[in-house]
Amino acid sequence: MIRLDHRASTPLVAQIVDAIRTRIVSGIWLDGMKLPSIRKLAQDSGVSPLTVSNAYNRLVAEGFLQARRASGYFVTHEPNPVSGQIEASSPQPSVDSLWLLQRAYEGDGRLIQAGCGWLPEACLYGSGVRHALNSLGRRPEMQGLGYGNPYGHDGLREQIALSLARQGIACQRSGIVLTHGASQALELSIRCVTRPGDTILVEDPGYCNLFPALHAMGLNLCGVPRLKDGPCPERFAKLAREKSPKAFVINTRLHNPTGTSCSAPVLHKLLRIAEAHDIMLIEDDIFGDLAPETSPTLAYLGQLDHVIRISSFSKTISPGLRVGYVAASTAIAREILKLKMASSLTSTSISEAIVHHCLADGRYRLHLARLREKLAHLQEKALRRFAKTGLEPFCKPEGGMFLWMRFAQERGVLQLTRDAARANFLLAPGGYFSPEGAPSPWLRFNTTQCDRPEIFAFLNQWKAANRGTQRIDPALSLPS
- Output the pTM of the full model: 0.79
Q: Which of 44, 83, 444, 461 is nearest to 258 (CA)?
A: 444
133 and 82, same domain (yes or no): no
Instruction: Check which CATH number belongs to the domain holding 45 and give it.
Output: 1.10.10.10
Q: Which of 62, 10, 51 is nearest to 181 (CA)?
A: 51
Cα distance between residue 270 and residue 308, in whole Å: 14
Q: Is 154 exposed, middle or buried (0-12, 13-18, 19+ CB in 10 A)?
A: middle
* Residue-level pLDDT at 59: 87
Cα distance between residue 250 and residue 110, in whole Å: 34
Q: Which of 140, 60, 162 is nearest to 102 (CA)?
A: 60
Cα distance between residue 159 and residue 154, in whole Å: 9
End-to-end CA distance of the chain: 39
Residue 249 lies in a domain: yes
**Are the beta carbons of 51 and 13 closer than 8 angstroms?**
yes
237 and 278, same domain (yes or no): yes
* Residue-level pLDDT at 92: 41
All residues at 6 or more sequence positions from 274 whose CB lies less than 8 Å from its CB, including other chains: 240, 248, 280, 281, 302, 306
280 and 338, same domain (yes or no): yes
Cα distance between residue 399 and residue 259, in whole Å: 8
What's the distance, CA 188 to chain centroid?
Answer: 15
20 and 36, same domain (yes or no): yes
- The alpha helices in 260-362, defined as continuous H runs, are 264-277, 298-302, 330-344, 349-360
Strands 220-227 and 230-231: antiparallel
Cα distance between residue 466 and residue 480, in whole Å: 25
* Residue-level pLDDT at 78: 55
193 and 71, same domain (yes or no): no
Q: Which of 157, 155, 177 is nearest to 341 (CA)?
A: 177
**Are the beta carbons of 60 and 73 closer than 8 angstroms?**
yes
* Residue-level pLDDT at 138: 80
Looking at residue 106, the DSSP 8-state letter turns out to be S
421 and 459, same domain (yes or no): yes
* Residue-level pLDDT at 44: 87
151 and 76, same domain (yes or no): no
331 and 414, same domain (yes or no): no
Taking the CA atoms of residue 105, residue 109, residue 112 and residue 116 in that order, the dihedral angle to the nearest 10 degrees is 20
Domain count, the chain: 3
Residue 5 lies in a domain: no
If phi > 0 it is left, if psi is from -120 to 50 it is alpha, else beta; for residue 181 that is: left
Domain that holds residue 17: 12-93
404 and 441, same domain (yes or no): yes
The phi and psi torsions of 215 (rounded to 5 degrees) equal -60, -40
Mean pLDDT, 10 residues at a time, the chain of 480 residues = 77 87 86 91 87 85 82 75 38 50 57 89 94 85 69 95 95 96 95 97 95 92 97 98 98 97 98 98 97 94 96 93 96 97 88 94 92 97 94 96 90 84 87 89 95 90 68 37
